[in-house]
C-alpha cells in the first residue's frame, strides 16, 4: 500500500530516495579488466554466462536487420517512423552554429561546434526491451553529425536481438550493432576489442552494473550521465482525475522495483482516492510484482497546504518526470526550477514523452535535474575555440599580457608576447 504523508505534520523521509545497497564496484572492475585484456573472447564468455547465448559473431549483419524489419508488424513500423520524425523535428531545433567576433582590440575570436566522431549507444535488454531508447539516443547523434554510431544491446538466449530494436536502429541511422550487454558492453565501447571499435562517448541507460561501468570508464571516454531508477512526481489539484493519476504513477512503477512514483496533492480526500485507484489498477498489470514492490517501497502521496508549497517540494526533489495535473498548468511552468521533463495538464501522460512527442526521454534522475539536462544534440558535439591576431593587434596588447604574466609569476608567458617586438624596439 502506498504511504500517505501530511507534509505539515510529518515531513521526515519526503526527500529520501532509493539507494542501491548492492556493491557492484569490484565485480564491474573485474569485468572491465577482463575485456581490456581478452577482448572478444571475454565478451563471448560473458554473453554465455549472463545472457545464456552462445554466439559465433558479435556483430549484427545486414541480413539480420532486413529480416527484423520484415518480422516487425507493419503498423508498428509506421508508429516508429512517426515517432522518429517527431524526435527529429524537436532535436533539429537544438543544433548550434559556431560564431566569430572581432573584439575591441581587433583580435578575431570564435567557436566551432564539431560532432564527436565516434559515439556508443547502450540499449538495455533484460526484463524489457526499448526501441524507443534507440530512437532517443541515435537520432540526436545523427543530427549532430557523428561519423560512427555504434550500438550495443544484449541478445536473448537464442543469440537474437528483438526485431523492433533492430528496426528502430535502422530507422534512426545506427551504423553498427553488436550483441553485447552489461558492464562488458561498456568496457568494449570504452577500450575496443577485435570486433567492437572504441568510441569517444557512451550514452544510454542500464542497470546498476552498466551505471557502475560507465562511472569507471569515465575519463577514458565521456558519458552522458549515471542513471538511477526511474521516477515520476505528479502535482494534482482537486480537478484532476484520480484514475488518470493512479495510471500515470503505475506507468513508472512497472519499470523496476526501485522506481519511485510520488504524488503531491492538496487534499486528503484526493490522496485516498488515488491510493484506492492504485490498488484497483495494480492487480491488472502484467508486471504486477515489480509495480507492487515499487509502490510499497518507494511510492509516496504527500499532502501539501497549497500549490506553491507543492511546487517547492517538487523543486527540492528534482524529479526525472514531473506532471502538473492542475488547472492552467502552463501558467505554473515558470515556477518549476528542477525537473528533467515537465508534462502539462490532465491529458499529457508521461508515456507521451517516453515514446512519441519528440523531447528526449533520457533524463536526469536521483535529483540531478538540479544541475543537469535531458539528453540532446549538445551531448554529441564538442566546442573548439580559435583566436586570430595580427602583428599590429598583438603589439597593442602585448604589455597588458606581460603585466598579467608578471602578476601570476609566469614571466615566460609574458616574454612570449613581448619578444616578438623587442627586435623592432632596438
- Examine the residue annotation and report whether 320 is marked as an active-site residue of this protein: yes
Q: How far apart are alpha carbons 213 and 204 in whole angstroms?
A: 12
Catalytic residue among 91, 255, 321, 361: 321
Please give the backbone phi and psi of residue 342, each rounded to the nearest 5 degrees, phi first: -115, 135
DSSP state of 218: B
Catalytic residue among 231, 320, 323, 350: 320
Sign of the CA dihedral with 399 first, then 401, 404, and 406 last: negative
DSSP 254-281: TT-TT-EEEEEES-HHHHHHHHHHHHHH
Cα 263 to its chain centre, rounded Å, is 23
- Examine the residue annotation and report whether 321 is marked as an active-site residue of this protein: yes
Coil, strand or helix: which one is 364?
Answer: coil
Q: Which residue has the cell 566522431?
A: 117
Provide the pairing of β-strand 108-115 with 99-102: antiparallel
* Helices 208-217, 25-38: crossing angle, 10 deg rounding: 60
- Find out whether 257 and 229 touch, Cβ atoms under 8 Å: no
- Find out whether 384 and 109 touch, Cβ atoms under 8 Å: no
Q: How far apart are alpha carbons 325 and 265 in whole angstroms?
A: 10
Q: Is 95 exposed, middle or buried (CB count within 10 Å of its CB: 0-12, 13-18, 19+)?
A: middle
CA angle 26, 32, 37 (to 5 degrees): 125
DSSP state of 61: P
Number of helices followed by number of strands (H, E) in the chain: 15, 14
Q: Which value, in Å, is the radius of gyration of the alpha carbons in the chain?
A: 26
Q: End-to-end distance of the chain based on CA atoms, in angstroms?
A: 87
- Who's near 216: CB < 8 A, 6+ residues apart? 25, 28, 29, 32
Number of other CB atoms surrounding residue 155 within 10 Å: 21
Sheet holding 260-265, edge to edge: 3-6, 300-303, 260-265, 231-236, 321-325, 341-344
Q: Looking at the annotation, which residues are catalytic?
A: 320-321
Amino acid at each position: 500500500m502506498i504511504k500517505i504523508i501530511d507534509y505539515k505534520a510529518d515531513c521526515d523521509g519526503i526527500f529520501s530516495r532509493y539507494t542501491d545497497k548492492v556493491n557492484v564496484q569490484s565485480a564491474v572492475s573485474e569485468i572491465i579488466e577482463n575485456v581490456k585484456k581478452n577482448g572478444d573472447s571475454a565478451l563471448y564468455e560473458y554473453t554465455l554466462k549472463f545472457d545464456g547465448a552462445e554466439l559465433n559473431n558479435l556483430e549484427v549483419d545486414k541480413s539480420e536487420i532486413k529480416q527484423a524489419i520484415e518480422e516487425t508488424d507493419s503498423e508498428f513500423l509506421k508508429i516508429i517512423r512517426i515517432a522518429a520524425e517527431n524526435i527529429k523535428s524537436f532535436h533539429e531545433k537544438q543544433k548550434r552554429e559556431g560564431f566569430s567576433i572581432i573584439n575591441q582590440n581587433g583580435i578575431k575570436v570564435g567557436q566551432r561546434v564539431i560532432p564527436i566522431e565516434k559515439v556508443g549507444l547502450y540499449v538495455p535488454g533484460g526484463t524489457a526491451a526499448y526501441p524507443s531508447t534507440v530512437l532517443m539516443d541515435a537520432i540526436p547523434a545523427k543530427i549532430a553529425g557523428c561519423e560512427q554510431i555504434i550500438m550495443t544491446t544484449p541478445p536473448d538466449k537464442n543469440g537474437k536481438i528483438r526485431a523492433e530494436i533492430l528496426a528502430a536502429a535502422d530507422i534512426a541511422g545506427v551504423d553498427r550493432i553488436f550483441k553485447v550487454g552489461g558492464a562488458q558492453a561498456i568496457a568494449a565501447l570504452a577500450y575496443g576489442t577485435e570486433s567492437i571499435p572504441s568510441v569517444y562517448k557512451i550514452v544510454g541507460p542500464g542497470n546498476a552494473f552498466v551505471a557502475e561501468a560507465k562511472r569507471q570508464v569515465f575519463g577514458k571516454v565521456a558519458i552522458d550521465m549515471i542513471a538511477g531508477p526511474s521516477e515520476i512526481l505528479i502535482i494534482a489539484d482537486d480537478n484532476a482525475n484520480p484514475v488518470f493519476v493512479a495510471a500515470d504513477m503505475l506507468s513508472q512503477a512497472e519499470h523496476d522495483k526501485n522506481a519511485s512514483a510520488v504524488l503531491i496533492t492538496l487534499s486528503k480526500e484526493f490522496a485516498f482516492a488515488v491510493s484506492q485507484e492504485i490498488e484497483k489498477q495494480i492487480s491488472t498489470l502484467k508486471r504486477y510484482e515489480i509495480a507492487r514492490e515499487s509502490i510499497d517501497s518507494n511510492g509516496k502521496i504527500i499532502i501539501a497546504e497549497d500549490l506553491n508549497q507543492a511546487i517547492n517540494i517538487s523543486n527540492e526533489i528534482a524529479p526525472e518526470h514531473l506532471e502538473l495535473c492542475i488547472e492552467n498548468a502552463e501558467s505554473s511552468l515558470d515556477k518549476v526550477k528542477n525537473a528533467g521533463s515537465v508534462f502539462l495538464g490532465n491529458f499529457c501522460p508521461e508515456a507521451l514523452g517516453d515514446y512519441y512527442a519528440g523531447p528526449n526521454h533520457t533524463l536526469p534522475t536521483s535529483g540531478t535535474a538540479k544541475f543537469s539536462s535531458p539528453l540532446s544534440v549538445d551531448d554529441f558535439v564538442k566546442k573548439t575555440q580559435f583566436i586570430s591576431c595580427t602583428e599590429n593587434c598583438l603589439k597593442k596588447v602585448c604589455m597588458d599580457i606581460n603585466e598579467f604574466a608578471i602578476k601570476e609569476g609566469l614571466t615566460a608567458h609574458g616574454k612570449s608576447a613581448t619578444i616578438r617586438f623587442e627586435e623592432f624596439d632596438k
